[in-house]
Structure 1
Amino acid sequence: MYFLERGFEWSKSLMSYEDATEELNKKQRQPGQAELQAPEGVGESVSAAVYENDSLYSYNDTYIDVRTPNDEKRGVITIFAGSIYSMMIYAFVMTSAIAVESFVSGYWAGEPVSGSDYLFLSFFPLAFLVVLWILLKYTFRFFRLESLTARRIIVRFNRITRKVYLLRPKHLGGIRIMDWDKTEVLLDKSMSEVEGTGGFIILGWDRGDGVDLQGTRTDNFEVTFVGKPTRNASELLAFWEYIRRYMEDGPAAAPAPKKLLTKFPWPWLSFKAAWGLDTRFFRHSGLWVFVVINILILPAILIHATGHWLSLLLCYEPRFPRVIEEAGL
């Protein structure tokens, strides 16, 4: 699930801040490559409309909590890796039970246990245990991308403190408190429906533009990915405008959504995430082919939905520390 965040943290380990800055300065725009016309700071408007993009967990006069793009992209690793781990554990338990029973009774398959039987009965539990250990050693870090970790990453925009709070697990950068006024948004403000197909917002900060919980200044670039992927360029620009106006102009300029996202892992929400269709496919007969395709692959969708739900159940719900919860109140 956290492939984007994991990839960025991995990229930071490949080179120092100085090397990354030098490499960035050396890069030149290729002939024919369009120049990214990013907004000049958080004060510049990029859209006449605002759109909350069904991406808010919380909304009040002090802050908004926003989701990240990859909430739906989870479950596949959990269902397959979890199944393999479970089979190895089950095989180890069953063969161990058979071996212990045979050693205690002195009989196996109706015959007295011989020296070779002791070796044979001991081999299989150990073999399954070794295979499980190898699997965990080389695949568990991928399993933790969507299980046994934080259930979600939350980006909080606090208009009173003018800070952006990043709630992330330690292995994905940890909690950061970034300056809103120093936020750089990687967004082309001039994109059109032809040039842009939507996506999600990418926010970045330079070294020293934020701190950790201990107050230590950040020593490298920081990046976060914000919001559910949008369907077109207009939605993407309007979504950033919603966040920008909330922070710059207040709640009146960015009204509360009709419905906030729930954090409770309801199973039907996992099915909805795996299904991946919205109501526009039903409103246009020309798009019904996608509905038919999804019905044909329904067994795979159900497997994905089961893995999605299990991954949620195997994760903990992250919470901001008290000092951040009370900031600006």
Structure 2
Amino acid sequence: MYIGEYLLWFGNSIKKETRKKLEMSYSSSDMKLSEVEKDWTKASVSNNPRAIGPYYAYNDRYLEIRGGMFENFRGILTWISLLIFFIPFSSGYYCINHIIMLYCCETAKIAGHIIAIIFYSIVFFPSIYLCFRYFRYVYRLELFTIRHIRVRFNRVTRQVYIQRPKYCGGTVVFKWDHIMPGNFGDSGSDMNGTNMVNLIVFHPYKTGFPIAHSVGIGKNTYKGQDYKDEWEFIRRYMEDGPENLPKPRLSTHLPMPFHGLGGHISPMIHAAQNSKSIVMYLLLIPVFLILLPVYTAGYFISECLCWQPRWPKVIRQAGKKGKPIPKETTLSDYPPDVQKGILESRLEWCVLDEKTGKYVDYGNSD
């Protein structure tokens, strides 16, 4: 579920030595000066602002929407993790079971019990060690972590708060005026037909942070116009307030069995609508009957095994009369080793001046 966020943060925060070992090269994004200079909070991109959601809060002070990419694949990693967890837990169970039987004086099979205890112990201890020492870097992307990434837009403080796990960058605070849409821009790209979430970006050209922070919000969609409609809804809320905007239906943070249904069924419907082959329809039948319930159950299990933490107090109170404004995220908020990796990755966020054909020096280079 948090694979996208983790890879983005990992690529922007690893040290040069680790990057060399993994054979990862630096690749400049080469964004245009006109795009990063533009004030996207003032430019209207749609005449049909829509709250697609899911939204968790909506009032005069702030709105809150679900963040995170690849939510439509949530559940797959859960089943894989549970299958792997089955190895140490089952071996531990049988080991304890044989110890109990041996303790209960079943001396007739004492040799068999001892051999079984040794065998299951050999399986249990290495597998449980591997799960907690190494596999935790995998299962934490979907289990025993934050249930949903949340993005809060506070129109009073004119700030954007992003709540993510620490291994994906942690909770960050940026100015609303520094925001940029990631799925469309002056280049004309609208991500039509890609089944992606709506991406928002905070580029270092504006924020002063050495690297860009990106996060996906809302649901996956194949329609490029959906990105613009929801972006326009949020933009108008932040600039003009909730008046004259459709009030979104609020969702719950709690686990619900139907939460994963929409994200999993939409790609199947899209495939059926765009396919002219009878073979595709025949392939979709077992997917609907077998895989869809499995995916949905995995999504629900993942939600149940995660938790939704509260925002920090300063963010919860932000915008109230007499309360402090949250401090914007800076490089010093991170540990020294992470700071080093971030500074070494800053050259990837170059800005190209289309008029001169040269890179702009905005304090993000050596």
User: Structure 2 length normalisation: TM-score?
Assistant: 0.71
CA contact 1:203–1:225 (8 Å) conserved in 2: yes
> Which one is further off, 267-276 or 222-231?
267-276
Mapped partners of 2:178, 2:225: distance in 1: 25
- Offset at 1:94? 1.3
CA contact 1:88–1:128 (8 Å) conserved in 2: yes
- Offset at 1:287? 11
Count of matched residue positions in the alignment of Structure 1 and Structure 2: 307
State the match for 1:205 in structure 2: 202
Matches within 5 A, 1:56-205: 56-68=55-67, 69-102=69-102, 105=105, 107=107, 110-111=108-109, 113=110, 120-129=115-124, 130-189=126-185, 196-197=192-193, 199-205=196-202
- Offset at 1:327? 1.1
State the match for 1:275 in structure 2: 265
CA shift digits 1:221-264 (9 cap, x unpaired): 3222222123312221111111111111211253312x222222
CA contact 2:183–2:189 (8 Å) conserved in 1: no
Structure 1's unaligned 5+ residue stretches are 30-34, 211-216
CA contact 1:206–1:222 (8 Å) conserved in 2: yes
Query: Given the alignment of the two structures, is residue 240 of structure 1 paired with residue 227 of structure 2, yes or no?
Result: no
Mapped partners of 2:62, 2:144: distance in 1: 28
Mapped partners of 1:80, 1:194: distance in 2: 34
The amino acid that maps onto 1:244 is: R
Mapped partners of 2:251, 2:53: distance in 1: 7
CA contact 1:163–1:177 (8 Å) conserved in 2: yes
For the residue of structure 2 that corresponds to 1:165, the secondary structure is: strand
Mapped partners of 2:172, 2:45: distance in 1: 26
- Offset at 1:164? 0.1
CA contact 1:191–1:233 (8 Å) conserved in 2: no
CA RMSD of aligned residues (A): 3.6
Query: Given the alignment of the two structures, is residue 261 of structure 1 paired with residue 251 of structure 2, yes or no?
Result: yes
- Offset at 1:99? 3.6
Query: Given the alignment of the two structures, is residue 300 of structure 1 paired with residue 296 of structure 2, yes or no?
Result: no
The amino acid that maps onto 1:63 is: Y
- Offset at 1:77? 1.2
For the residue of structure 2 that corresponds to 1:50, the secondary structure is: coil
Change (3 A) 1:141 1:283: closer
Mapped partners of 1:24, 1:49: distance in 2: 35
> Which one is further off, 197-206 or 45-54?
197-206
The amino acid that maps onto 2:51 is: E
- Offset at 1:91? 2.4
For the residue of structure 2 that corresponds to 1:303, the secondary structure is: helix
- Offset at 1:56? 1.7
- Offset at 1:196? 2.8
- Offset at 1:134? 2.2
User: Structure 1 length normalisation: TM-score?
Assistant: 0.79
- Offset at 1:266? 1.6
Mapped partners of 1:264, 1:288: distance in 2: 40
Mapped partners of 2:141, 2:201: distance in 1: 22
For the residue of structure 2 that corresponds to 1:160, the secondary structure is: coil
CA contact 2:99–2:117 (8 Å) conserved in 1: yes
The amino acid that maps onto 1:125 is: Y
CA contact 1:67–1:226 (8 Å) conserved in 2: yes
- Offset at 1:295? 3.7
Mapped partners of 1:171, 1:195: distance in 2: 28
CA contact 1:56–1:64 (8 Å) conserved in 2: yes
The amino acid that maps onto 1:232 is: K
Structure 2's unaligned 5+ residue stretches are 20-25, 321-366
Mapped partners of 1:147, 1:89: distance in 2: 17
- Offset at 1:273? 3.7
Mapped partners of 2:277, 2:174: distance in 1: 42
* Identical-pair percentage: 25
Change (3 A) 1:241 1:271: closer
Change (3 A) 1:131 1:36: farther
